[in-house]
């Protein structure tokens, strides 16, 4: 069975990356922004694992494991801060966060 060319995986990850990046930059809901961040990290993981397979080199998979772990830690910290914010402000909207301006 022939294998899928690496460009397909890179294209998939590029699309995921763009969806994630536009989600972070355009959406107003903080939870959805965090979800978009996860999309970016998953795009990276697809890239790493695909390259790792095509180069027959394990480093990429190693990198992907670390990247998954760190993404989870990052989201844990972000959710903790989000809960503190929601308790004080009762809002999930990024637009209403504007005490600090100037």
Partner 1 sequence: MVPYFSILIMMGFVGILGTAALVMNKIMGPKNFYKDKLSPWECGMPPVGDADRGHFKVHYFLIAILFIVFDVETLFLFPWAVLLADKTISLFIFFEMIIFLVILAVGLAYAWKKGALDWV
Partner 2 sequence: MNFAFSIQDVLGVLPEIIIALGACAMLILDLFLERDKKEWVAYLGIFVVILAAIASWCLINTAEPYVMGRMMVIDNYSLFFKFTFYLATILTLLLSINYAKSADLDYRGEFYTLMIFSLCGMLVMASGSNLITIYLGIELMALPIYVLVGFLKNDTRSNEGAMKYVILGGFASGLLLYGMSLIYGLTGTTDLAGINAALSAGTVSPVILTLSIVLMAAGFCFKLAGFPFHMWAPDAYQAAPTPVTAFMAVASKGAAFAAIVRVFLEALYPAYAEWQMILAVIAVLSMFYGNTVAIMQTNIKRMLAYSSIGHAGYALLGLVAGTGEGSAAIMFYILVYTLMNLGAFAVIIMMRKTGKVAGDSIYDYKGLAKNNKVVALVMLIFLFSLAGIPPMAGFMGKLYIFMALINQGYIILAVLGILTTAIAAFFYIRIVLFMYMKEPEGEFDLVKSCALYIVIAISVIGVILLGVVPGSLMELASKAALLL
- The window from 22-30, 34-42, 43-51, 75-83 that contacts partner 1 (CB under 8 A) reads 75-83
End-to-end Cα, the chain, rounded Å: 60
Q: Which residue has the tokens 């996860």?
A: 38
Q: What is the DSSP letter of 95?
A: G
With CA atoms as reference, report the closest residue to 54 among 1, 5, 16. Answer: 5
Q: Which does 16 bind (CB under 5 to 8 A by kind): partner 1, partner 2, none?
A: none
Helix axes 6-26, 30-55, angle to 10 degrees: 160
Out of 80, 81, 93, 96, the only residue in the binding site for partner 1 (CB under 8 A) is 80
The answer to whether 76 contacts partner 1 (rule: CB under 8 A) is yes
Q: Are 50 and 9 in contact, with CB atoms under 8 Å apart? A: yes
Out of 12, 35, 68, 85, the only residue in the binding site for partner 2 (CB under 8 A) is 85
Q: How many residues bind partner 1 (CB under 8 A)?
A: 15
The answer to whether 12 contacts partner 2 (rule: CB under 8 A) is no
Q: Which does 2 bind (CB under 5 to 8 A by kind): partner 2, partner 1, none?
A: partner 1
């Amino acid at each position: 069975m022939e294998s899928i060319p690496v460009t397909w995986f890179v294209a998939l990850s590029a699309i995921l990356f763009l969806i994630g990046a536009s989600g972070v930059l355009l959406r107003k809901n903080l939870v959805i922004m965090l979800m978009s961040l996860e999309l970016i990290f998953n795009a990276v993981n697809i890239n790493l694992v695909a390259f790792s397979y095509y180069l027959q080199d394990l480093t990429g998979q190693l990198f992907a494991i670390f990247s998954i772990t760190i993404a989870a830690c990052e989201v844990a910290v972000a959710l903790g801060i989000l809960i503190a914010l929601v308790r004080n402000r009762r809002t999930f909207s990024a637009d209403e966060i504007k005490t600090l301006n100037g």
